[in-house]
Structure formats: structure tokens, C-alpha cells
Chain A
Amino acid sequence: MSENLHDNCACNEYNELATRREFLQKSGGAVGAVAFAAAFPEWLPQVSVSDFYIANRDVVVSIFLRGGADGLSLCVPFGDPEYYTGRPTLAIPRPDSSDPNKAIALDNMFGLPPNLGGLYPAYQAGNLAVVHGSGLTFNTRSHFDAQRFMEVGKSNDPTVQTGWLGRHLATSTPARADASLRAIGFSDGLVDTLKGGPKTLPIPNPASYGLLGSTTTRTARMNWLQTDYSATIEPAKTAALDAIATINLLATLNLNAYVPANGAVYPNTGLGRGLRNTAGLIKADIGIEAAHLDVGGWDTHTQQAGGMATRMNELGPALAAFWQDCVASGLQQNITVVVISEFGRNVRENGGAGTDHGRGTAIFALGRGIAGGRVITHNWTSLARENLQDQQDLKVSIDYRDILAEIVQNRLGNGNLAAIFPGFVPTFRGITKDAVSGRIAAK
């Protein structure tokens, strides 16, 4: 298990190995990097021993389901008849049903919908946990407020402008001192979650991150910019030089040629491509510590069955492929994936075969360091009207920060929780398997 890995942290080895990054630097900037890529057209991590595995903290992959994902579909409370009362057309049938669309039982109460069935092996292997009745304790049903509050890690406080993951990066030393890119957001602009993170860039597609224009003159123009920005003032200087380093670095990776391990096949969807590139970046040994991906389209006010199926067909197979490629494959580097959404949806479906904005939903956490194979709840009650918030919604009985904070402290080795989740004292819910913070501190 992962603790052995950490115990074996051989920091001398870490320093002595000629890493890919160092090789690139020694080979002389942009021009050398291009030559290097030409000389090694194969996917490099398959032919070289990487040293990044020695880093004793998990890489974190944060996935946000935008629009308010229906937790009662993501993790079906089939053991509660009230669920079937509230969802006459939308409910996913019990596992013992003969309906082909039936749920897959996780325990006596909860099950996965068939669209997420690809995750069942991860659950069986103890790598997947679901935290039900979780979310934002601040009572808002506004997408915009709820997303922002969750991402910045504090509700209704305009003075908090950076994201929880950005602040984690800002309050921890880089896993690799020479990393030019510590975190990547798969989007055009930087999402709130990552704001404030050093060496953190929005990169919609790392396989094509680079300077537009003629390929013939690209190197000359890059060199021109490098010279020009070397003489400007901070913070523009460092930011631009990091961007140039990242462009040069990504240009050498040939991510499009990345071959997933363990027979994993990523679906050709936004999330599938993003997670495939995430896997490539992690294995490429460049010091990536965090990745953030969004999946939109969860705001299922009408005709939810089709919309949810489409969205879950994007989520399930992509996550399953990532698990197969990066977790079940025995990859030494530990990875923790956490999937959240701004809120859940009403227990009772509406007249349009959809559901309106609700409160509690389900968080998914995946990784070898996750105490998985369980659905974690707190004071779970039946979905009878009198138990619901405002008589309509699954209550938020577990603050999403309880889960994130435990992951930050125990899996990312960062104890600065007061800075990362200001004004909040988390209750750890046992989502993680073991702590690594002590070893980080000893390093």
C-alpha cells in the first residue's frame, strides 16, 4: 500500500536521478527541447524510470459537476421507499428488479446507477467512497453563489477571492522544486478552485498549449518573448517565464501519443480527454500536483432521465478509465480524485419529469489512499417529507469541506487548514486511509 511507498522515500535518489525536466533544461531551452522531442518520439514515461513517485503526497484531481448534480441518481437510495414515492418516473429501479436499468447495490441502502457501473470495480477494490447528504451548508440555491462559495472554500465572504486548491498550493512547498507547472485547470480562464495557486495555469488542452501562428517562426518568437519578458517587472516576469517554460515542456511531451496503462480506454468526451491528458501529465514526471476539470450540464429541470444518462455516461466511463490507468495499474504515484457539485436536487420530481435545485448531494472520492468501498453518511434518515430541508430536500449533513480538508491534510500533507478553509473547523469523516503529513514535515 501507499504507506510503504512513503516510508521508502529516498530523497537522495530524488536528487540524484537525472530527471526528464533536468534533461530538458540541460539540453538548452526551447531549441533543445524541440530537438529532444524529435529524438524521442515514443511516449517517454514508458521508456524511462521516473523519480516523481518519490514525492510523498498525492496528486489531487478535482472534478466539478456544474449545474447541481442529482445525488439521488448518482448514488441511489434504493433501500428507501420514499425515494420511489418522490420519483415516480425518474427513480432508478432496485437492484433486485428485473429492469435492465436497475441499480448496482453498494450496500443495503445505496446503489450505483447503471451508467456509473464502470466504477463498481473501484468500489469493490476499496478505492471508491461516496459521501451522501453532503455539500454546501450555506443555504443557497443559486448556481453562481453555490459554485463560488464551494470553490473558494468559504460562503458569502467577498474578501476570499482565491480557491481552496489554489491556497493549498500556495501554502505548500512544490513537490518538485523545479516544476514550472504545479497545477492545471482544463479551461480557458482559471476556475475559482485554482485561483491563488502558484505556477497554476488554465490550459484547455495541454496537447496543444502553445503560441499561435506560423510553426516556422514559433521558436524565434518564443525566444523573442523570453528575452523581452526577462527584463520586465514582477509579477509579469515570472508568470510569463513560467508560461514559456510550460509551453516548451508540454511541447516535448507528445501527449497525443500517450498510451494508457492496464488496458484503460478513455472515452472521447471532454472529461475523457481531460483525464487522459491528466494521466499523461502525472506520468510525465513534470511536477504536476493538481488538476481541475469541469463537467457541465447537470441542471436537469426537465426531462431529467435523458440528461442525467448523458452526463453520467460522460462521468462514469472516464473516471473508470482513469482508475484503471492510474490507480488499479499499480502506478506508484498516489492520486486522489474528488468529485463535487454545488448542490443536489429536490427529492420529488417536478411536473416536467425533471428536478429543481435542491441541497444535499453526493461526493465521490477515488484513490488508493481513500478508505473506499463504503457509502459514508451522517444521521441519514428516510426521505420522508418531515425529514427534508424545507420539506423538499436532502439535508446537507456533511459539509463538503470536511471531505476536502481531510484529503488536504492526510493525502496532500498540508496542515494549513485554517488558511485553506478560513473560519471553518472540519470534522474528519474517515474518508482517507492514512496520513502522510508527518513524513512531509520530516522531509
Chain B
Amino acid sequence: MSNLKVDGESESTNPVEPDSVESSTSRRRFFAASASVAAATLVGSREAKAQGSGATETRRDMVRSILRKTTRPETGPAKSAQVSAAAYDSALSKLVRRITNGVTADEMTLARKLGFNGYLEYQLNASKIDDTAVQSYVATTYPYALMDSAQLYALDLGQVASQFQQATLYRAAFSKRQLYERMAEFFSDHFNIEYATVEYMKVPDERDVARKFALGKFPDMVRASAHSPAMLEYLDNTRNSRNNINENYARELMELHTVGVDGGYTQTDVRELSRCLTGWTIASRGVAFTFVPNSHDWNQKVVMGQVIPAQPTTSGQLGMRDGDMMIDYLVAHPNTARFISKKMIKWLLRYDPTDEQLSAVASVYSSSQGDIPSMIRAILTPANLLAAPAKYRRPYTFVLACLRATNPQMLRLQNVTGTQLRTLGQSLFAWGPPDGYPDTADYWSGGALPRWNFASYLSTNTADVPVDINRFLAVNTPNGCVDAINAAMFGGEMPDTLRSQLVTYAQGGTFNATRAREVLALAMSSSTFQWM
């Protein structure tokens, strides 16, 4: 593959800096794998170089200074491409595409500076990344998104929903904690609750379950979800009492949240677990979880072979122990390890995990008590990334990637979270069934035209989220424009074919800002940009 020529300049240089954090173990794994991966020779050698020796102190200082940076992505002219399209398939670039909601020039620069492991660790330690700029923007602009049910229930529910959606999208697009945002989205789907069913209760649920533990321990997240008023209402455990068993939550707790549909339980186990969870309900208006002893079934239960002993009916809050014990059992179950590992590999790496990958990640789950960062490290090895086929961006991720690349003004974001995402088929918190939006290419690939039209809308709208086209016209030529788009959308690694197609289009008529907007829309519409 030939390197990109940037506007008549000499061949671009490789700015990837050394990285010393790489452990010898994973480096060995990387080398072993890269030898076996077809077409990875060039990439492999580049990566090997990228992960060679370096000064630890210097890099730590740099990480510290980067952690302190608080601004949104740059708003000046997009930087021109300085790297080769060949890097597009490197482990580092695949990593950036997988753990962010879209490449930006800044993000790629950062990743190259930190190197593979440095960048991954930076994103895994999300709480250490200073994100105050985005946090204060959200707090100021979308105050409802930070409130509790006790405050929210009395407010305009349409406004609550709208601010909640906008705050979620804004953070996903512009937070520097990109991996955290990716995992929050994943777990929001895993513990899916449709907003329309529970309304304002969804707001604290998102905060106290998926977002609280997205990079924490999975068992803690299951426990938090089991105590979430929104979940208990959504899956009808609020209607589960000793005289009137409702199995809905108990079934999904096993089928969707922990051991999986083939997790080794029977209909009797569903029934028995439902009995354990009788009395788990919500206080008035769903402002809090509450356990109602009078609704609890105090008799003995047997769930998946676990005997939950009977308790005296006067045991009060101790009745909760039945459910707690079973949740402890379920989250420690090897089938939960495999079920959640497989789903996480699919989310972060590839649709079709190998048995080896699955076993490796599941064993990390078991040995680390479901520590999500440890699992992510096991999933996102350079070898695994190099061997992974591309994943198809869901519409929401596509929108986020477009917003990150173009960094528009936020005038009326509600038209993006409203009409635009609805047209694209992925309104936030609008998936009805408890399994969350699908994560398959088959499901989403039918919506090509709405994506093209979103790209067109984004590049031409003036009142909602207008893009400053001059950012892409610092060098006001077809080549200069495409290079700027390349830098903003691909970190300078746009594949050669796409680049030449875009230049050809840019040259196909009078080149001006209008043409440049079309080129930008085509770049976002391109097949390449739909994959990550």
C-alpha cells in the first residue's frame, strides 16, 4: 500500500510514538498472532515499532497532562493528514474505532502518543480522565438528566425524556471517556428498559445501573438493577407477590441478565426464583426500591438446585435475603461468565467470537469476580483486533461518529435525538422488549438511505447542529478538503480508494463550500464509515 500524498508534500511520516507500557506477555502474544494473520505483515511491523521501547517517565507525565485537558475536541481548522492509509487496519486504529464512538483527529493523535496499551489503559481508567467540560455542559443544559424520580415525576415528562436523551447523546459524542460511554451503552442495552413504559424512572436507572458500573464489577450492576425501581416496574416484579406470582423479572434476570437462555434452568426454576423475589417492589411513584414483607413468600424455595430455606413470616426485611442469595449465586455461575463474555466480545471485537476467545474472557470473569476492565483487556488484545473482521456501526453509533468528526454547534440537538434518530430507527431508550437494540449487521443494514440523508442533513443544516465547513477548507482545493475530512473522520488513515473517490467527486464540479458539504456528506455516507 502506498502512503498518502498530502497536497504535493513528500510522503507522510509515521508519527506513532514508542510505548513502554506494553507487557512482555501481551507483546509475545501479539507477535505470535501477527505472524499468522494474513495481510498483517505491514501492519504488524508498524505495530511492533509502535510498541517498542520508550521512556516511562516522559510518557507518564504526558498521560497526566492529557488527563488534565478538559476541552471538547478541537474547533479550529481540521488538521491535514499526516499518516498513511495503511495504518487503517492496524491494531491501534481498530482499537480506537472499537472503543470510541468515532475517530477524531485529536483522539487518533492521543492514541498514537500513548501507544496501544497506554491508550487502552487511559480509557479503562475513565474516572481519572478529566471530563468536567462535558459534565458541566450537561449539568447546565440538561438539568433534568441529573435529577431523581422524586424530583422528576412532577415535571413535564416530554421535557424529561428529551433532556435525558440529549444528555445521553451529548456525553456519548463528546465525553473524553469514550470507552466508558461505549460500555454504558452496552449495559444500557443489556439491562434494557423502554422509557415509555416507566418514564422518568428510567433516568435514575441509567445513572445508577449501567453508568455507575459500566467499568466496574458486573455482579454489582446486576444487584443494582435488581433494586432499580424502573426495572422492577418494567418487568412487572412490582406485581409479583406470594398470592399472585409474576414471573417476568425472574425469567429475564436469568435469561437476559445472567446465565442466558441456555443457562441451565427450567420453568420450575423461573417460578421458584419468582417466589424468592416476591415483595421486591417500589415505593410510591417509583422514587425508591422497597421490600414489602407482607407480599413475600416465606416458604422454602429450590432454584437451580439451591435450597433457599423457609423463614418465619415475622422476619421483616430479612425476606430480601432469598433474592440476594440467588442473585449472588447467579452472578457467580459459570454460565453467566460465558454469557456476558460472549456478548461483550461481540460488542467490542467481533460478531463471531471463537471458542478460545470466549473461554479466555469467561475465565477472566470468574477469576476477577466479573471485573469489566479485566475482561476488556482480555478481549482487546492486538492479536484479537488484527484478526477481527469489521463491525457494522449501529445507527446511533453512526450519528455519534458523524458528530465527533464534524464537531458542529449544538443549537437544537433535540432534532437529532428526536426526528433524526427516529428516522434511523434507533431512538434512545425506545426499544420495547427487554433484550436491548440488536447488535448485528443484518438487523441494521436495511437503513442505508436514512444514513445518507442524515449525512446530508448534518452537513447542510443551519439551525440544529450546523457544521462549520470552513474547518475543512483551510486548504481550499478538492485535495485539501478531502485531506481535512480524512484527518477529522479517519485520523488521516482514510483508505486510498475512498480518498480518490471523494477527490474525484470534489473535482466533478465547481469546487466551493457547497461542493465541500457534499463531499463531507459522501464521506459520512460511504460504506467504509459504516464499519468500525
Contact = CB atoms under 8 A, between A and B. Distances in A.
Interface string B497-532: 110010001001100001000100110011110110
Contact of B449 (A142, A211, A213, A238): A211
Contacts of B255: 158
A47 B106 CA distance: 60
Given A142-B197, A220-B505, A221-B518, A229 B448 contact: yes
A117 B448 CA distance: 42
B302 interface: no
Contacts of B448: 229, 236, 239-240, 243
A224 B501 contact: yes
Contacts of A228: 498, 501, 522, 525-528
B442 interface: yes
B432 A148 contact: yes
The number of chain A residues touching the other chain, given as a range, is 35 or more
B38 to A, nearest CB: 16
A188 B435 CA distance: 22
Contact of B435 (A158, A189, A224, A235): A158
A231 B438 contact: no
Contact of B422 (A142, A189, A209, A224): A189
Interface string B252-275: 100110000100000000000000
A232 interface: yes
Given A224-B522, A225-B452, A227-B501, A239 B446 contact: yes
A220 B507 CA distance: 12
B390 interface: yes
A235 B425 contact: no
Nearest to A149: B433
Interface in A128-157: 142, 144-145, 147-148
A142 B518 CA distance: 45
Contact of B445 (A161, A210, A214, A239): A239
Interface stretch (B21-29, B46-54, B453-461): B453-461
A21 interface: no
B290 interface: no
B432 A190 contact: no
Interface string A305-319: 000000000000000
Residue among A189, A202, A237 facing the most chain B CB atoms (10 A cut-off)? A189
B509 A231 contact: no
B359 interface: no
Contacts of A224: 501, 505, 522
Contacts of A237: 527
Nearest to A161: B438
Nearest to B449: A243
B456 A213 contact: yes
The number of chain B residues touching the other chain, given as a range, is 35 or more
A225 B333 CA distance: 48
Given A239-B446, A247-B449, A213 B518 contact: yes
Contacts of B528: 228, 232
B218 interface: no
B527 A231 contact: yes
Contacts of B501: 224, 227-228
A442 interface: no
B283 to A, nearest CB: 22
Contacts of A145: 432
B434 interface: yes
B449 A209 contact: yes
Contacts of A209: 449
B527 A159 contact: no
A212 interface: yes
Contacts of B252: 158
Contact of B518 (A158, A214, A232): A214
Given A148-B432, A189-B422, A213-B518, A236 B456 contact: no
Nearest to B452: A211
Contacts of A238: 445
Interface in B386-411: 390, 392
B453 A236 contact: no
B441 A221 contact: no
B522 A232 contact: no
A201 interface: yes
B433 A148 contact: yes
The 7 closest A-B pairs by CB, nearest first: A189-B425, A232-B527, A239-B445, A240-B448, A212-B456, A235-B445, A243-B448
Given A148-B433, A214-B518, A238-B445, 6 more contacts: A189-B423, A221-B505, A228-B525, A228-B526, A240-B445, A240-B527
30 contacts: A144-B197, A158-B255, A158-B433, A158-B434, A161-B443, A188-B423, A189-B422, A202-B447, A209-B449, A210-B449, A217-B509, A221-B522, A224-B505, A224-B522, A227-B501, A228-B501, A231-B527, A232-B531, A233-B390, A235-B442, A235-B445, A236-B530, A238-B445, A239-B445, A239-B446, A239-B448, A240-B448, A240-B527, A243-B446, A247-B449
Interface of B: 194, 196-197, 252, 255-256, 261, 390, 392, 422-426, 432-435, 438, 441-443, 445-450, 452-453, 456-457, 460, 497-498, 501, 505, 508-509, 514, 518, 521-522, 525-528, 530-531
